[in-house]
Amino acid sequence: MSELELVTRVAGGDAGAYRVLSDAHLGPIYNYARRILNHENEAEDVAQETFLRLWTEAQRWKPTARLSTYLHRIAHNLCMDRLRRARPHSSDAVEALADSSGPLRLVERKQLAESVERALMTLPARQRAAVTMVHYQGLSNPEVADVLDIGVEAVESLLARGRRALREMLALRRATAGVSE
């Protein structure tokens, strides 16, 4: 069954169609919110609210956009609302990265992932959102532009500035770590 058929059925109150869509999209929406908010409970709340809105407002989705873009836009707006409220949050650990090359390599990869995650959290919200959607969620630049309600060129600018800032922060951390060892 196509997404259009599923969303149409959700708009008609079909819980089975809703379950199919939530099973397909809940993970990526939660992961996006967690990376933007850096807080598991807040990310769960955003993901739940996103899918509650899908249930109550399914008829608002326009099939000219991918459903994942529509859901990311809802989640993005909810995340930005929470960031504007500026409640302090504790950091969550980055998930362990599976690697077959042994425990030392696993520790190195985990440390790198944590460094990237910490650096990502220091980016301005719009840069962090653009980088997260492209590199972690797999959205295209035009899809990110739709979610953020900006032009593709603006997305490219956000990505370029975000990547440059991440490179600089990670280079500084490597240099600092090398000096302190």
Nearest to 33 by CA among 180, 145, 153, 133: 133
Is the pTM higher than 0.85?
no
Q: And the tokens for 9?
A: 């059925």
DSSP classification of residue 133:
I
- Quickly tell me which residue has 């399914």 as its tokens: 58
What are 1-54's pLDDT values in tens digits? 899 999 999 999 999 999 999 999 999 999 999 999 988 999 999 999 999 999
95 and 109 Cβ atoms separated by less than 8 Å: no
Domain spans in the chain, listed from the N-terminal domain onward: 3-85, 103-180
d(Cα 112, Cα 131) in Å, to the nearest integer? 17
Q: Which residue has the higher pLDDT, 172 or 17?
A: 17
Identify the residue whose tokens are 């990310």. 43
Residue 45 near residue 89, CB atoms below 8 Å: no
Tens-place pLDDT, residues 90-137: 333 333 333 344 566 667 777 777 888 888 889 999 999 999 999 888
CA 23 to each of CA 16, 42, 143: distance values in angstroms, whole numbers, following the listed order: 11, 20, 21
Number of Cβ within a 10 Å radius of residue 125: 13
Task: Indicate the Cα dihedral angle 23, 25, 31, 33, nearest 10°.
Answer: -120
* pLDDT at site 181: 44
Give 58's DSSP letter.
G
Half-sphere exposure (Cβ direction) of 19: Cα atoms closer than 13 Å: 3
Pick the CATH number of 3-85 from 3.30.450.20, 1.10.260.40, 1.10.10.10, 1.10.1740.10: 1.10.1740.10
> Domain 103-180 class?
mainly alpha
